[in-house]
């Protein structure tokens, strides 16, 4: 597989960035949702520390991915069987997903700094409640928004794979290209 994309297939770099980020985001969602309900400081800390580390990693990968598209690679041409309106909707959804990822990272960083989490982790003090920290509410709303967008994204991919059977997922490394 080529590192860079072709006219009809994403390259190895784009595919790796997509799937690694996707796995990390699933882990982030699981950790974040469980940290929110953690009953002890030890449990909360054991969920928040990897949530923070993975969140920063997703931020770095997303910024790298955006830079990859801007400076190093071109996305494949729109799939021939997809109507122009659907292509525009898909492009819009992807831009919104990137925007929400960046906003989640910013609100998470702001929550941790303003809420005293960074200081608590550094000193070993109990992690303070974040309920009244303004960016925390934004972070939560963005997470739920992201999950809804993710349902649309995955639903569209499954629609193309199993209803339209146009092998669109092959462009992202799943299945075989139509021959």
**Cα–Cα dist 112/24, whole Å:** 19
The answer for residues whose C-beta is within 8 angstroms of residue 156's C-beta and 6 or more apart is 90, 93
48 found inside a domain? yes
Low-confidence residues of the chain: pLDDT under 50: none
**pLDDT number for residue 178:** 55
3 found inside a domain? no
38 found inside a domain? yes
Tell me the per-residue pLDDT of 43-82, one tens digit each, with 9 for 90 and over: 999 999 999 999 999 999 999 999 999 999 999 998 888 8
Q: How many domains does the chain have?
A: 1
47 found inside a domain? yes
Question: With the CA atoms of 8, 12, 13 and 16 taken in that order, what torsion angle do they form, in degrees rounded to the nearest 10?
Answer: 110
**pLDDT number for residue 123:** 96
Give the tokens for residue 159: 């629609």
**pLDDT number for residue 36:** 87
**pLDDT number for residue 45:** 96
**pLDDT number for residue 167:** 85
Domain that holds residue 53: 12-172
Our measurement of the distance from residue 123's CA atom to the centroid of its chain's CA atoms, rounded to an integer in Å, reads: 30
Give the tokens for residue 8: 């009809």
Please name which of 139, 164, 149 lies closest in space to residue 79, comparing C-alpha atoms.
Answer: 164
Torsion sign across C-alpha atoms 13, 17, 19, 23: positive
**pLDDT number for residue 79:** 84
The CATH number that applies at residue 168 is 1.20.950
49 found inside a domain? yes
């Amino acid at each position: 597989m080529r590192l860079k994309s072709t006219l009809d297939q994403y390259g190895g770099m784009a595919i790796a960035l997509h799937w690694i980020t996707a796995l990390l985001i699933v882990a982030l969602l699981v950790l974040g949702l469980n940290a929110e309900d953690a009953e002890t400081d030890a449990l909360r800390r054991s969920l928040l520390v990897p949530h923070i580390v993975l969140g920063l990693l997703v931020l770095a990968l997303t910024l790298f991915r955006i830079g990859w598209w801007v400076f190093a690679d071109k996305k494949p041409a729109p799939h021939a069987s997809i109507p122009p309106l659907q292509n525009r909707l898909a492009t819009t959804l992807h831009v919104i997903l990137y925007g929400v990822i960046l906003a989640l990272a910013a609100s998470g960083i702001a929550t941790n700094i303003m809420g005293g989490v960074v200081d608590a982790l550094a000193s070993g003090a109990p992690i303070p409640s974040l309920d009244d920290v303004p960016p925390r509410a934004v972070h939560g709303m963005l997470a739920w928004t992201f999950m809804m967008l993710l349902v649309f994204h995955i639903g569209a991919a499954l629609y193309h794979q199993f209803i339209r059977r146009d092998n669109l997922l092959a462009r992202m490394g799943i299945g075989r290209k139509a021959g």
